[in-house]
Amino acid sequence: MCFSEQVIREYRWRALKVFLAWVVPAAPVAAYLNGMTMGVAGWEGVTTVAWVLPPILLGLGVVYPILLMRWLIGSALRAQPGEPPGSRLDSILRLPWRIAVGTSWVAWTLGGIWFSLHVCLTWGKPLSLVLVGTLIGACCGVLLGFPISVSMERLLLPLALEAQRRAPTQVASGGGVTWPRQAWFLPFTFGGSIVAALMLSGCVVMVKLESIRDTLRVELMAEGAERSARMLMEMGGALAGELAFSLVWVGGLLLLPGITMWMLARRQARAAQAVGKAIESVAAGRVIAPAWVSTDEMGDLAAGMNGVLARLKQLPRMLQSSAVKLGEAGSHLRAAHDEQEEGFTRQAAALHEAQVTSEEIRRTSRMAADRAEAVLQVARRAEELGLQGETAVEGSMAGMEDIRAAVDGIQQRLAKLAESATQIADITETVKDLAAQSHVLAVNAAIEAARSGEHGKGFAVVAREVRALADQSIQSTQRIRGILQDIGAGIRDAARMGAESVHTIGTGLDQMRSSGSSLRELSRMSQENSAAARQIAAAVTQQNVGITQISTAIADLSHIMDLTMKRLESTREATRTLAHVSGEVGQMAREFNVAG
């Protein structure tokens, strides 16, 4: 786990601001105190601080902390190759104290060396005072290191919580100066602060006494009071010894608060250990009350823990009861699931059969619709052909009527022709009779001409010509009679054939009338069949649509049934999970050991 570069840069600047917020206000006071300890006070001390402190602040208060925090924060927040899990949390928890030691303690110590060395070189002070200045700087660094570390800890707390959230199973553990514990941190903080304050005040008092003693000694020596100077030196030494002895005793007395702080820290640590053991016992499945009772906050925590444990003592019984109920519910749910699965299986099989049947019915209905459409087309064609046939029969009947009328006219003309032929035959017979009479007369005339002799020769020629004409007339009449007989026979044949044709035409007309009636009836039936076929086609089409909708509905039901079966499988998994969970709850309730 690592943090982004933007987060790292942001926390670098925020940490620098926290450091400067503590250092900048305290630096001028500490510098002036250091200068005053070395004998540079008043306007000289202010001038020295104004001249020496800015470069020290720039170098050790800005540049050095920036570089150090850049390295410390970067190494703490960036993931390192091959690092064990949870190491980020350890690094973040150590980071505030590393920053406090690296910046406050080191920077103030180096600043004390820099400032005191500059004062000694500038104002001609003994170089031994550099040790005093260094000690004063170190004491200031220790005093400021504690609030700086606490402020840094508060600043970096969100990052520590984020690291703990990302690795919740990892437990932070460590040791050393950068891993504070209550057992030693409170005494160390108190003792370090007291020691630093004593050293700081002792250095100031000792240096000021040394300065005053040396000043008085020089003045007394100048006035010739050597004995007084020796006595002053002796008194100063005795005073310094007494002050040192008093400071030792004061320090010894100040050990009592340190011991008290140590005892309080130990007491708080024991209380925390008791509560921690109770919490660890709960984590291990054993309810053990914390072995601690007091009036402070740790006592309140232990009392609250006792209340929690009192509720936890009821938990195993509740868990056992819940496990039994869960098991029973799982059994009922499994039985209901089996019944539902059996019923749904039968329904799924029935739906599958219905789907297959509906598919067959749909195909059959589609074929029926296609065939109904084909029958409808045939019926329409038959209706059209019936109408055409009816029209053709009516036209044929009209033509036959015309033919019959024409044949009747021919028969009438043939009858007239036969009558005319009969009349011609009668005339021919008359002509024959006349020719026969003329022949007889010609014979008689020839006989008379022969009787007349020469006078009758011309008449004989005429008689001969008349007889020849009569013979020709008789022959012509015979030929005409033959022709008339042939014509009469033809007329009779034609009349007979005409009569037969009229009869045939009449029969044909009757048949055509019957066929026309039948054809009209057939056309009417075709029209009725066409209308029925239309109705059948419409009904079959509607039936096909309905069957398609039924098939679609059955398919949807089958799909829903498949989803239901899958959900039943999920229910089966849930019942198995419920049984497993109830078993785990029962096992947990059995393993949870409740102690007094």
**Rounded-to-integer distance, Cα 333 and Cα 326, Å:** 10
pLDDT tens for each residue of 459-469: 667 767 776 77
509 pLDDT exceeds 60?
yes
246 pLDDT exceeds 60?
no
Confidence of residue 256 (pLDDT cuts 50, 70, 90): very low
Largest Cα–Cα separation, the chain: 258
pLDDT tens for each residue of 315-371: 666 666 666 666 676 676 667 667 766 766 776 676 677 667 767 776 776 776 677
391 pLDDT exceeds 90?
no
192 pLDDT exceeds 70?
no
Q: What are phi and psi of 83, to 5 degrees?
A: -75, 145
Confidence of residue 245 (pLDDT cuts 50, 70, 90): very low
Average pLDDT over the chain, rounded to whole? 72
Confidence of residue 60 (pLDDT cuts 50, 70, 90): very high
Q: What is the pLDDT of residue 415?
A: 72
Confidence of residue 254 (pLDDT cuts 50, 70, 90): very low
For 306, the token pair is: 């006792």
Domain boundaries of the chain, sorted by first residue: 5-168+179-257, 311-594
Q: What is the pLDDT of residue 67?
A: 94
- Mean pLDDT, range 230-237, rounded to an integer: 56
Q: What is the pLDDT of residue 93?
A: 85
Q: pTM for the full model?
A: 0.47
Q: What is the pLDDT of residue 409?
A: 74
Q: How many CB atoms neighbour CB 433 within 10 A?
A: 12
For 587, the token pair is: 């096992």
Q: What is the pLDDT of residue 79?
A: 76
Q: What is the pLDDT of residue 423?
A: 76
Q: Comparing 260-269, 509-518, 528-537, which segment has the lowest mean pLDDT? A: 260-269
The fraction of the chain above a pLDDT of 90, given in percent, is 7
For residue 176, what are the contacts with CB-CB under 8 A and spacing of at least 6? none
- Residue count (the chain): 596
For residue 275, what are the contacts with CB-CB under 8 A and spacing of at least 6? 290, 292, 298, 301, 302, 305
Q: What is the 3-state composition of the chain as percent helix, strand, coil, each rounded to the nearest 5? A: 90, 0, 10
Most confident of 100-114, 219-233, 235-249, 524-538: 100-114
Higher pLDDT, 118 or 132: 118
Pick among 3.20.20.150, 1.10.287.950, 3.50.50.60, 3.40.50.300: CATH of 311-594: 1.10.287.950
Higher pLDDT, 490 or 22: 22
Q: What is the pLDDT of residue 294?
A: 46
pLDDT tens for each residue of 193-219: 666 666 656 665 665 566 666 666 666
Q: Comparing 91-100, 182-191, 248-257, which segment has the lowest mean pLDDT? A: 248-257
Q: What is the pLDDT of residue 62?
A: 92
Using DSSP's 3-state secondary structure scheme, residue 287 falls into strand
pLDDT tens for each residue of 148-178: 888 888 888 888 878 877 776 666 677 777 7
Contact 422, 492 (CB under 8 A): no
The fraction of the chain above a pLDDT of 70, given in percent, is 53
